Amino acid sequence: MIETADALRTRPATDALQHIETPALLLDGDKLERNCRAMRERLGRHSVAIRPHVKTAKCVEVAQCALGAPDGPLTVSTLREAEYFADHGFKDILYAVGMVPHKMPRVAALAKRGVAMSVIVDSVEAARAHVAAASKEGVPIPALIEIDSDGHRAGIRPDEPRLFDVAQALGPLLGGVMTHAGASYNCANTEEIAAMATQEREAAVLAARVLRQRGHPAVAVSVGSTPTATFGRSFDGVTEVRAGVYVFQDLVMAGLGVCGVGDIALSVLATVIGHQREKNWLITDGGWMALSRDRGTARQKVDQGYGIVCDAAGKPIDGLVVSDANQEHGIVSRRDGGALDFARFPIGSRVRVLPNHACATAAQFPEYHVLRESLAPAVWERFSGW
Amino acid sequence: MIETADALRTRPATDALQHIETPALLLDGDKLERNCRAMRERLGRHSVAIRPHVKTAKCVEVAQCALGAPDGPLTVSTLREAEYFADHGFKDILYAVGMVPHKMPRVAALAKRGVAMSVIVDSVEAARAHVAAASKEGVPIPALIEIDSDGHRAGIRPDEPRLFDVAQALGPLLGGVMTHAGASYNCANTEEIAAMATQEREAAVLAARVLRQRGHPAVAVSVGSTPTATFGRSFDGVTEVRAGVYVFQDLVMAGLGVCGVGDIALSVLATVIGHQREKNWLITDGGWMALSRDRGTARQKVDQGYGIVCDAAGKPIDGLVVSDANQEHGIVSRRDGGALDFARFPIGSRVRVLPNHACATAAQFPEYHVLRESLAPAVWERFSGW
C-alpha cells in the first residue's frame, strides 16, 4: 500500500498517541506557533504591544510562544498564575481581576522579588483600600482603572464623574486604564466584532484622555480580547493589547469567525469504550471531566455539543460530535442522528475532540501532550488553582 | 449586643474563613456526616451493602465518612482514583467505566498489590479483549456486565440475547451485573424517582436471574445513583448500591427533592471585588473556574444560575444567585432583578455559593476546607486527573 504524503506526515504523531493514557490533552505545537505568530505580526503591524493573557494556557512554554521570546509582559487572572510565572522568570505582570486588600501580601511579595506587578480597581472604595494596603506593605504597586466598555461585567464607564474620584483616590499609584470587551464573544459576525473593537478602544482612549486633561498621567491604555484583537482596525492611543484564547483557538472562536476549525490547536484524546448500535452512539472515556462542562457553542449558530470529533490525526469526521457527556463518558453521534460506521471505531480505538472553550477544557488537565511535525512529542506542564 | 445562639454557633467557622484565600472550597463536616449516616442507615434498613462512588469527593476522609469505617468497598470512575485509594489502604474497588485493554496493566498492578479489582464491560468485543488482557497479565480480574436500565448511556438491556454471549465470552471472569439509572436525574418528582429505582433494580435482578438460569453465576448485582438509592422502595435481589453525590448533595439534588438546600455540605467561598450599582450586581472572585461550568439546574423547575449565594455562615440570602460567570468573575444579582443592599456586601467581604453539581465544582479545587461545629477547621486533600 502506498501511503499518501498526508498519511506520512501525520504518522509519527498518531503513533505517539498509542502510548498516551486517555483522556489526555493534546496540543498541536505547529498550530500553536502559527496562531501566536499571526497575532504578534498583526499587532506588530499596528505598532502596539502584546501582553498575552496566560489564564488560558497556564504554561510557561505557551506563554513564551505567545511572546516569541523567553519572557515579556503577561496578564494573569489569579495570583497563583502570577507566582508561577514569576518563578519562571517573568518580570512584568498585570493581575487583571479587581484587587482586594487581603490579596496584597501576595502581590507585595512578588514586587519585593523584583516583579513589576500592577493591579486593577473600579471603585473609590477599592482604590482607597489598595493605596492603604500598598502603603502598609511598602510597595508602590500601580493600579489601572477598569473601564466598562460594553456593560458586560465590571468597570466604570468613561463618562462617569467617579472616574476622577477613583484617580484621585489612587493618586501617584494611578497606572492607567484598562478594559475588556467581553461582549465581543456575543457578536453575530466579524463586522460586529470590528465595531466592538472600536467601542473598546474608544472607551479606553477617552478615559485616558479625560484623566490626562485633569492632570492624571494615565500611562497604560490596555485593551483586549481575542475577537477584538483579531478584527480591530485601529489601536491608536492604545499602549497594549491583552488576549489569551487565540493561542489555542476553539470552537467558540471558530463560530465567531475568529479562526477556522483547522486552526484549533487543542484537542482531547479519548478512547472508544462502547458501542450503542441501536442508538448510533459511540461511548468514549472523554466525558465532561475531560472536556469541561462548557457549552459555549450552544448559543451560537452551530451548536457543537461538547465538541467536534476528529480522527487520531486530528481531522474532523464529517458530522460527528460529542452530543452528550457524563462525568467520565462521552456520547458521540452524528449531528444528523444518522447511522454510524461502527467498524471504523473499534473498542479501544482513539478519537480526538476539539473543545468549545479552550480555557475551560485545558483547565481540566495537568499537562499538554505536544505534537509537532518536525520535533519529538513533548509534555508541557500546566497548573491550576488560585 | 446580645448574640443569638445561632450567631454564636457559627462564629468559629466564619472567623476561620477570614484566613482562607478565595475562591476556596468549603465543606460543612457536620452536614457531610449527617448525609453519610442517613444513607448508611437507609441502606442498612434494606440490608443491602453500600459501595460509595468516590468520583464525587476524590478524598480519603470523605470516603471513610461515607463508609463509616476506615476502609470498605468503593466505586471509582478513573484508574487514578483506584490507585489513590489503594495507596490509602482500600482493598475492594470497582472501576465502573467500560474497560478497554490498554488500561489492563494499571488494573493488574493494583490486583498484584492485593486490591480486589473488578471492572465492567458491555459487549462481546470488550469481554473478549478483557479476558485476553487479564490472561496476558496473569490476573483473574472479574468483570461485571453493564446493564442498560434506562437507555441513557451504556449497557445491554436485560432482554437482549447478546447478554449470554458476553457472559460466555467472560467465562470464569463473569463477576455479576451492574446498572446505573442516570435517567433518575431527569425525573419530575420523587414518585418518578421511586419508579425509576424499581426499573433499575428490576433490570439488574432480571439480568442476573436469566444469567443464573443459563448456568452463569452472577454473584454481584450492583445498582445505584443518589436519587434511586434515596427513594428506592426495595432492594430485593440487589447485593450492593453505588451512589456518590449524596455525601455532599447539591442544588440539582435539591431540585429533584432528594435533599433540602440546607443539607448541601459543599460551598465555594468567594470575595466581593466590585459593585455594579446601576445593574444591581455584585462582582466576586468566584467565577466558573471555581464554580465549574455546570448549569445542571437550567433544565429544572428552578434555575439556580451558577449557584445560590449565602452569607459567610452558609445561610442563603433571599433571592441572591450567581446569575452569570466568567473565568474568574462571578456576577451576583437578585433572581428577580431587584435592588441590592450594597452596604451589606462591602468590597472584600465574603459570600458562599452552593453549587449546582457537587462533582463538577469539587473537581475545580485541590482541597476541602472543612468546617465542623465541635472540631477545629481542617484541610482535606483531594486529587484530580486520570
Nearest CB to B347 within list A21, A100, A151:
A100
- Separation of alpha carbons B346 and A102, rounded Å: 13
Average pLDDT over residues A88-115: 98
Q: What is the DSSP string of B5-41?
A: HHHHHHHHHHHHHTTS-SSEEEEEHHHHHHHHHHHHH
DSSP single-letter state for residue A315: P
Top-level class of domain B5-27+257-381:
mainly beta
Q: Does A285 touch chain B (CB under 8 A)?
A: yes
Does A385 contact chain B (CB < 8 Å)? yes
Distance from CA of A16 to the nearest CA of B (A): 14
Q: So what's the pLDDT on residue B278?
A: 95
Is any Cβ of chain B less than 8 angstroms from the Cβ of A230? no
Average pLDDT over all residues of chain B: 95
Q: Which long-range contacts (CB under 8 A, 24 or more apart) does B110-116 make?
A: B110/B82, B110/B83, B110/B86, B111/B139, B111/B141, B112/B139, B113/B86, B115/B82, B115/B86, B115/B90, B115/B91, B116/B91, B116/B92
* Domain chopping of chain A, boundaries: 5-27+257-381, 30-248
Chain B contacts of A288, Cβ < 8 Å? Answer: 294, 360
Answer yes or no: is pLDDT of B62 > 70: yes
B20 touching A (Cβ < 8 Å) = no
Judge whether B244 and B53 are in contact, CB under 8 Å: yes
Q: Which of B55, B97, B347 sits opposite A273 (nearest CB)?
A: B97
Contacts of A361 (CB under 8 A, 6+ apart): A25, A250, A266, A268, A290, A291, A292, A294, A355
Residue B279 CB neighbour total at 10 angstroms: 15
ipTM for this model: 0.95
Query: Which amino acid type is present at position A221?
Result: V
Pairing of strands B174-179, B143-147: parallel
What is residue A9's predicted lDDT score, i.e. its pLDDT? Answer: 45
- Mean pLDDT over each residue of chain A, to the nearest integer: 95
A288 contacts B100? CB cut-off 8 A: no
Confidence category of residue A17, pLDDT binned at 50, 70, 90? confident
How many Cβ atoms sit within 10 Å of the Cβ of residue B160? 15
In chain A, residues with a C-beta closer than 8 Å to the C-beta of B329 are 97, 153-154
Query: Which residues from chain A sit within 8 angstroms of residue B384, using beta carbons?
Result: 364, 366
CA nearest neighbour of A146 among A172, A180, A108, A116? A180
Is A331:A349 a contact under the CB 8 Å cutoff?
no
Q: Do domains A5-27+257-381 and A30-248 have the same CATH topology?
A: no
Average pLDDT of span A258-264: 98
B129 touching chain A per CB within 8 A: yes
CB contact under 8 A, A123 and B326: no
- The reply to whether residue A285 touches residue B100, judged by beta carbons under 8 angstroms, is yes
Spacing of C-alpha B210 from chain mean position = 31
Residues of chain A positioned with their CB less than 8 A from the CB of B151 = 279
- E-strand ranges in chain B read 24-28, 49-50, 74-76, 92-95, 116-121, 143-147, 174-179, 220-223, 240-241, 266-276, 281-284, 308-310, 316-325, 330-334, 350-354, 367-371, 378-381
For residue A306, give the nearest of A348, A349, A360 by alpha carbon.
A360
pLDDT at B1 over 80: no
Instruction: Tell me the nearest-neighbour CA distance from B285 into chain A, angstroms.
Output: 8
- B54 near A CB under 8 A: no
Cα B178 to Cα A239, A289, B261: the distances in Å are 61, 22, 31
pLDDT at A12: 52
User: pLDDT tens, B306-341?
Assistant: 999 999 999 999 899 999 999 999 999 999 999 999
User: Who has greater pLDDT, B8 or A46?
Assistant: A46
User: In this complex, do A288 and B101 lie within 8 Å of one another by their Cβ atoms?
Assistant: no
Q: Given its phi and psi angles, is residue A155 left (phi above 0), alpha (psi -120 to 50 degrees) or beta?
A: left
Nearest to B100 among A327, A348, A365 (CB): A348
Are A100 and B348 inside 8 Å of each other by CB? Answer: yes
**DSSP per-residue letters across B56-121:** TT--HHHHHHHHTSS---EEESSHHHHHHHHHTT--EEEE-S---GGGHHHHHHHHHTT-EEEEEE
Do B306 and B324 form a contact (C-beta atoms < 8 A)?
Answer: yes
Which triple of cell numbers denotes residue B110?
493494583
CA distance B333 to B321: 6
Selected from 3.20.20.10, 3.40.50.720, 3.40.50.300, 1.10.3660.10, the CATH number assigned to the domain covering B30-247 reads 3.20.20.10
Residues from chain A that touch B343, judged by Cβ atoms under 8 A, are none
Instruction: Return residues 132-171 of B near A (CB < 8 Å).
Output: 151, 153-154
Question: Residue A155 has what pLDDT?
Answer: 97
Q: Are A139 and A112 in contact, with CB atoms under 8 Å apart?
A: yes
Distance of alpha carbon B112 from alpha carbon B148, whole angstroms: 31
**Which residue, chain included where needed, has cell 514586587?**
A111
Q: Residue A13 — very low, low, confident or very high, per pLDDT cuts 50/70/90?
A: low
Nearest CA in chain A to B76: A328
pLDDT at B3: 42
What pLDDT is attached to residue B14?
A: 65
CA atoms of A258 and B301, how far apart (whole Å): 36
The pLDDT of residue A292: 98
Question: Which DSSP category does B298 fall into?
Answer: G
CA B121 to chain CA mean position, Å? 22
What is the CATH architecture of A30-248? Alpha-Beta Barrel (3.20)
pLDDT on residue B29: 98
Q: Which residues lie below 8 Å from residue A249, measured CB to CB, with a gap of 6+?
A: A31, A35, A258, A259, A263, A264, A265, A266, A358
Per cent of chain B over pLDDT 70 is: 96
Q: From B346, which residue of chain A is nearest by alpha-carbon distance? A: A125
* Cα three-residue angle A293-A298-A302, rounded to 5 degrees: 130
If 0-12 CB within 10 Å is exposed, 13-18 middle and 19+ buried, where does residue A343 land?
Answer: exposed
**In 3-state terms, what secondary structure has residue A268?**
strand
What does the block give as the cell for A174?
494611578
> Residue A306 to residues A56, B248, B322: CA-CA distances in angstroms?
18, 26, 23
Is residue B7 pLDDT above 50, yes or no? no
The Cα–Cα gap between B37 and B39 comes to 5
Q: Which of A97, A182, A272 sits opposite B285 (nearest CB)?
A: A97
Confidence band for B83, pLDDT divided at 50, 70 and 90: very high
Query: What's the grid cell of residue B195?
Result: 419508579
Q: How far is A304 from chain B (nearest CA, A)?
A: 16
* Residue A8 pLDDT grade (very low, low, confident, very high; cuts 50, 70, 90): very low
CA neighbor of B225 nearest in space, from B202, B258, B262: B258
- Whole-structure pTM value: 0.95
To the nearest whole Å, the CA of A324 is away from the closest chain B CA by: 9
Q: What's the pLDDT score for residue A3? A: 42
Quick check: B358 and B249 in contact, CB under 8 A? yes
Cβ–Cβ < 8 Å for A243, A315: no
Which pLDDT band, with edges at 50, 70 and 90, does A7 fall under?
A: very low
Alpha-carbon distances of A381 from B34, B189, B278, rounded to whole Å: 39, 45, 43
Residue with cell 509534555: A379
pLDDT tops 70 at residue A225: yes
Q: Residues A193, A231: contact at Cβ < 8 Å?
A: yes
Q: A162-170 and A124-137 are packed helices; what angle lies between their axes, rounded to 10 degrees? A: 10
pLDDT band at B17 (very low <50, low <70, confident <90, very high): confident
Q: Is the pLDDT of residue B236 over 80?
A: yes
Q: What percent of chain A is modeled with pLDDT above 70?
A: 96
Structural contact between residues A52 and A246, judged by C-beta atoms closer than 8 angstroms: no
* Interface subset of B 333-362, CB within 8 angstroms of A: 346-348, 357, 359-360
Q: Do B22 and A98 touch (CB under 8 A)?
A: no
Q: How far is B96 from B115, CA to CA, in rounded Å?
A: 15
- Can you tell me which residue has the cell 499571526? A38
Task: Report B:87-116 residues touching A (Cβ under 8 A).
Answer: 97-103
Give the minimum alpha-carbon distance from A46 to chain B in angstroms, rounded to a whole number.
Answer: 28
Distance CA A373, CA A14 (A): 11
Find chain A residues with C-beta within 8 A of B350's C-beta. Answer: none
pLDDT at position A19 is 87
Average pLDDT over residues A67-71: 98
- CA B84, CA B93: separation in Å to the nearest integer? 11
Q: What is the mean pLDDT of residues A139-146?
A: 98
How far apart are the C-alpha atoms of B341 and B277, rounded to whole Å? 10
Q: How many CB atoms lie within 10 A of CB A282?
A: 26
Across the interface, whether the CB atoms of A129 and B348 are under 8 A apart is answered yes
Identify whether the C-beta of residue A77 lies closer than 8 Å to the C-beta of residue A98. no
Cβ atoms of B232 and B201 closer than 8 Å? yes
**Nearest residue in chain A measured CA to CA from B23:** A386
d(CA B380, CA B358): 16
Grid cell 439488574 is found at B204
pLDDT at A1: 37
Q: In B, which residues are within 8 Å of A123 by CB distance?
A: 274-275, 347
Q: What is the pLDDT of residue B5?
A: 44
CB contact under 8 A, B154 and A276: yes
pLDDT of residue B12: 53
Q: Give the span between the Cα atoms of A238 and A228, in whole angstroms.
A: 13
